[in-house]
Amino acid sequence: MSGKSLLKRLDWLTVFIYLALLTIGWVNIYSSTFIETDSSIFDFGTLHGKQLFFIGVSFVTIIILLALDAGFYERFSSLLYVIAMVMLLGLFPFGKTIAGATSWYDLGFFNLQPSELAKVATALALAKYLSDIQTDIKRRKDQWYAFLVLLIPAVLIIPQPDPGSALVFFAMAFVIFREGLPLYYLGIVLLAILIFITTLMFGTIWVGITLTLLIVLFLLLKKKTFKVPIFPLVSVVVVAILFSLSVNFVFNNVFEQRHRDRFSLWLRLEKDPAKLEKIRKTIGYNTYQSEKAIESGGFFGKGFLEGTRTKGDFVPEQHTDYIFSTVGEEWGFVGTTTVVLLFTILLLRLVYLAERQKNPFSRMYGYGVISILFVHYFINIGMVIGILPTIGIPLPFFSYGGSGLLFFTILLFIMLRLDSNRLKEGF
Amino acid sequence: MKKILLSSIIIIIGITFIGRLSYLQIFSFSPDQVLEDPAIKAIYDYPERGYIYDRNGKLLVGNDPAYDVMVIPREVKVLDTLEFCSLLDIDIEKFRKQLRRARIYSPRLPSVLVHQLSKEDYARLQEKMRRYPGFYIQKRSLRYYDMNAGANVLGYISEVNERDLRKNPYYVQGELTGRTGVEKVYEDTLRGRKGVQYIQKDRFNRDIGKYKDGLLDVQPIQGKEISLTIDKDLQEYGEKLMNGKWGGIVAIEPSSGEILTMISGPTYDPSLLVGRKRSANYSKLHYDTISKPTFDRSISFEKSPGSPFKAINALIALQEDAITPSTTFTCYHGFYIGRNKKGCHCGGGTRRLNDGIYKSCNAYFVGAYKKIFEQFDSNAAAMDAWEKHVRSFGLGSYLGSDLHTGRPGSVPSTELYNKWYGEGDARWSAVTTYSNAIGQGEVNVTPIQLANMTAAIANRGFYYTPHILKKVNGEEISDPNFVDPKYTTINKRHFEPVIQGMAQVYKRGTAQYVQIPDIEIAGKTGTVENFMVIDTVRTQLTDNSVFVAFAPVDNPQIAIAVYIQNGYYGSRYAGHIASLLIEKYLKGEITRKDLEKRMLERTLESEYAKPYSGEAFEINEYDWSKHAIKPKTDTIPSR
């Protein structure tokens, strides 16, 4: 047993990165919502003032989280999960609609977004289920249950609609892989994504021909002694081609035009310059403007409060989902690289923390945290810099939004609280 | 393996992001983005274009305010259309159409509703405009010409085109630039430098303040006013005299090289190329390919100089010791080139330098030309020396003047004749090239070169590069190119006998009928044969009438060259016109009213119509009555 105090056992590197991201994030929110007439940074009527208030709330929350017993989180994870699911359900009758999505409870002074709570709760619940002594992930039934834990919140969130948040829950499947789910599941998913994209870009015929050629090549080059079951291999190709055909069908008949436009923008499918210009002005407006804003920053950026495109409000939703474009414009390549490096170090540090846990619950929860943060970071920045399609999802610790900040803080500091307790065997 | 997988993905994504960011922010980045940035709008502050004055401080070109009624469609409130239209004096249909067009262009940006109101309309409207939100009056500046002449000198301004924009990054769409003449040459001086204010805009194109607190803003620099060497009265008078005549006139002050007048006929009213009718008028002028009013004959019209060139040959012969003033040549009412007799109009007899010049004896100058060649060992050496002397008078070059266009003319050389006839004395000689002796050969000159040549003779051996700029913002120019004299290769002492001959031209020779009371002139007439290809047949036209002169003989204040196309013999048109201009310049008034009347009224349009008539025609008709009398009118109505 270590006699060191909690503060000494805390992983300060993570805390430091957390504070750095929070600071940089707030500075950029300040800049993107700045209006010359603002009097004080503490004016809670302004967006950056509100964000400052939530940073304060987060700090208080951290103290509470650290003060609680580490075992508390494992014990109450199931209850928390149920509460979260009920709150998601409750949105259908009581939710408040903002910008077309019914994702909030109106609490008067602020809007609570239960999907943020659900992320924390699901990460805890999944860890709890998988670490249960009776769960064997090699069993098909247990695999289904594990997926079910993720599927319930996702299904409840999709109709809000908030596909970005729903995606986060699917990403948590990575925890299950880490705990022993065979990797070929992941392989199938990746293959499906690959076929989806290549079908859109090159068409079913080329995908079919390429796949067949690859199989033939594989059969010709393989060692004589290595026996390959021909039938499953051929059926994989057939299924893949059928899937490819269905992609076209889904794309043209199930997707709405705005979805199609997003994909055609992302994959550069549209070659006609006139139509491309139109897409840029409509569905691709955000991406185009944010790319331009980032580009105009150059190496050193235009400087704090000097971003002309930021000041001119050219990038919509800049203080929330597109906050990274402010970093790009005002702080340049130096700023953007710093943020990317901070996230990379944070995630790698969390992997290290998760792996050093002796308690399986803590480890699995750690992977849950990593999955959630990683998906947010990857999709958000990928979208803002134009290498992923537009999916509305905030950048953790950065984007404006009280619920988001609060629950990302909770998510991270539960992990730190668990980590600080790793040397105590059992609770 | 699974442990490494996640870390690897995190690192790969990090690298991908940084790669994409470096592509955006390092490779795609360009520092000139201020102008492309939709968030920054440059608002230009245009300084007034500089005024242009003549040599005596009389205004030639000023600026005229013009007023455009502008509209910002979305700020327009419900209005009494009928009343507003009657106020603007436009009909309702047109008003509605314009408003619709403006709305299509942009509901937020201003469009022009009515172009160029007059000052009176503006005064009337000014007070009432406040009652119509969304409409306002934008002041613009147009060129205003206080001289009904000199279009070829002054040039015009027009909107910049794609090529200008590519060539000079200073300009932006919609700005004006000098196109020809002084407006073009002194564009930078007249224009000044526009001021720029950078305004920060939001995505609705609303102003939200100054960009960087105005750190990058530039104050406008006023355009400078310039004074030309042109004499306004002389220019106007000269253009009146050119009524119905084609050709060029250039007068130069020999003691400074300042161009006193530069006239091209036919010409046009410079104010035709201003304002609403500009483009229609320009097309009319530009597509008149027969009389070519936009072609500046005073500096670009290359033709044989004719007899005035004999003066140069006399000087060269004296310089090369080929003749003395008393050397004689006999004229047999002509001279022989081999067995062929060539005619001469001088009356025949023995000629010395003096009467050779004033009687313009062809035989004398062909003889002198041959003598020049005899001074050298080979024809090639003689030709080289001759060419060097001719070129020292500024012939065969652009002169280095500050005019926007011009032609170099041509001076033949050894190289040219070698190419034509082959090398060696056996192939060509003075006899082969005798036409050069009388200014009808391979020498081609422009009126300004003739005037400059005359100025060099008047100065007895040097000239100043002809120029048109006198003062900038009231300060005399000091460009060494214009202030330092250029010396000819002829010794000063050789000029006196030639000038005496030229003075005799005026007193008793070919120009005796152009005499002005109390003014001594030295001059030389020219009657230049010329040809035109009509339906593939080389046809001779009526001779060109040429006269060069300077006055007074002892203290030259003006050197002038007049070149009138198809004006017949030298004094008939060119001589008279030159004498009137000299009198006007030196005395300020004309005493010979009959002559003035004849020159103002007689036109050569019947001559110019001959080649296009499709019928056979006579040339060199002596009868004055064949020349139509026509008071000067503009072919195109002015504004």
The tens digit of pLDDT for each residue in B50-88 reads 999 999 999 999 988 778 788 878 778 777 888 888 887
Out of A1-15, A368-382, B223-237, least confident range: A1-15
Average pLDDT for residues B513-537, to the nearest whole number? Answer: 88
Quote the percentage of chain A above a pLDDT of 70. 94
Domain B239-516: which topology?
Beta-lactamase (3.40.710)
Q: What's residue A2's pLDDT? A: 46
ipTM of the complex: 0.89
For residue B633, the model assigns a pLDDT of 47
Name the percent of chain B lying above pLDDT 70: 94
Mean pLDDT, to the nearest integer, of B378-406? 91
Average pLDDT, chain A: 85
pLDDT at A305: 80
Tell the burial category of B210 from Cβ atoms under 10 Å away from its Cβ (0-12, 13-18, 19+): middle
Question: Nearest by CB to A177, which of B2, B21, B201?
Answer: B2
Per-residue pLDDT tens for B404-429?
A: 888 999 999 999 999 999 988 889 98
On the question of pLDDT at B635 being above 50, the answer is no
Distances (CA, A) of B92 to B82, B83, B84, B87, B124: 7, 10, 9, 11, 19
In this complex, is the C-beta atom of B198 within 8 Å of any C-beta atom belonging to chain A? no
Confidence check: pLDDT of B42 > 80: no
Report the pLDDT value the prediction gives residue A186, as an integer from 0 to 100. 79
Positive or negative torsion for Cα A110, A115, A116, A118: positive
Helix (H, G, I), strand (E, B) or coil at A113: coil
Instruction: Determine the pLDDT at residue B108.
Output: 66
C-alpha span between A254 and B476 (Å, rounded): 81
Q: Do B208 and A337 touch (CB under 8 A)?
A: no
Q: Which of B3, B10, B20 sits opposite A374 (nearest CB)?
A: B10
Going by their DSSP bridges, the two strands B195-201 and B207-210 should be labelled as: antiparallel
What is residue A228's predicted lDDT score, i.e. its pLDDT? 66
Contact B52/B226 with Cβ under 8 angstroms?
yes
Q: Which of A20-29, A209-218, A369-378 has the lowest average pLDDT? A: A209-218
Q: Which of A290, A309, A357 best probes binding to B when mutated, by most B CB atoms within 10 angstroms?
A: A309
pLDDT of residue A254: 73
Does residue B393 surpass a pLDDT of 90? yes
DSSP class of B27 = I
Residue of A nearest to B23 (CA): A295
Q: Which residues of A touch B (CB under 8 A)?
A: 36, 174, 177-178, 183, 291, 294-299, 306, 308-309, 311-314, 328, 332-333, 336-337, 340-341, 343-344, 347-348, 351, 355, 367, 370, 374, 378, 381-382, 385-387
Question: SS3 helix, strand, coil % of chain A, rounded to 5?
Answer: 70, 5, 30
Report, as an integer, the average pLDDT of A416-423: 87
Structure confidence at residue A39 (pLDDT): 57
Task: Determine whether A92 is exposed, middle or buried from the number of CB atoms within 10 Å of its CB (0-12, 13-18, 19+).
Answer: exposed
Confidence of residue B539 (pLDDT cuts 50, 70, 90): confident
pLDDT tens-digit readout, A69-128: 888 898 999 999 999 999 999 998 888 888 778 888 888 777 888 999 999 999 999 999
* Average pLDDT value for residue range B575-603: 90
Nearest-Cα distance to chain A for B135, in Å, is 26
CB A73 within 8 A of CB A418: yes
Asked if A348 and B2 come within 8 Å (Cβ–Cβ), the reply is no
Mean pLDDT is lowest, of A407-421, B33-47, B279-293, for B33-47
Task: Tell me the pLDDT band of B38, cut-offs 50, 70 and 90.
Answer: low
For the ranges A163-167, B119-123, B564-568, B592-596, the lowest mean pLDDT is seen at B119-123
pTM of the model: 0.64
Asked whether residue B382 carries a pLDDT value surpassing 50, the answer given is yes
Confidence of residue B36 (pLDDT cuts 50, 70, 90): low
Q: How close, in Å, is residue A196 to chain B by CA atoms?
A: 21
Q: Higher confidence at residue A225 or residue A407?
A: A407
Say which range, A245-249, B58-62, B553-557, B635-639, has the weakest mean pLDDT: B635-639
Q: At B613, is the pLDDT very low, low, confident or very high (cuts 50, 70, 90)?
A: confident
Between B579 and A256, the higher pLDDT residue: B579
Of A401-405, B44-48, B562-566, the least confident: B44-48
- Residue B517 confidence (pLDDT) above 50: yes
| DSSP string computed for B407-473 | ---B---HHHHHHHH-SSTTT--TTTTGGGGGT-SS-BB-HHHHHHHHHHHHTTSEEPPPBSEEEET
The reply to whether residue A387 touches residue B20, judged by beta carbons under 8 angstroms, is yes
pLDDT confidence tier of residue A40, bands split at 50, 70 and 90: low
Tell me the pLDDT tens digit for each residue of B301-354: 999 999 999 999 999 999 999 999 999 999 988 888 878 888 888 888 899 999
Tell if the CB–CB gap between A328 and B29 is shorter than 8 Å.
no
For position B444, what pLDDT does the model report? 93
- Note the pLDDT tens digit of each residue in A245-280: 888 787 877 777 777 777 777 777 777 777 777 777
CA atoms within 13 A on the CB side of B616: 0
For residues B175 and B160, give the distance between their C-alpha atoms in angstroms, rounded to a whole number: 6
Residues B20, A351: C-beta atoms closer than 8 Å: no
Encode burial over B130-158: b for 16+ CB neighbours within 10 A, e otherwise.
Answer: eebebbbbeeeebbbbebebbbbbbbbbb
Mean of pLDDT values over B204-219: 74
- For residue A219, what are the CA distances in angstroms to A132, A222, A225, A228, A231? 44, 5, 12, 8, 13
**Contact in structure between B386 and B357 (CB atoms under 8 Å):** no
Determine the pLDDT at residue B637: 40
- Closest Cα in chain B, distance from residue A172 (Å): 12
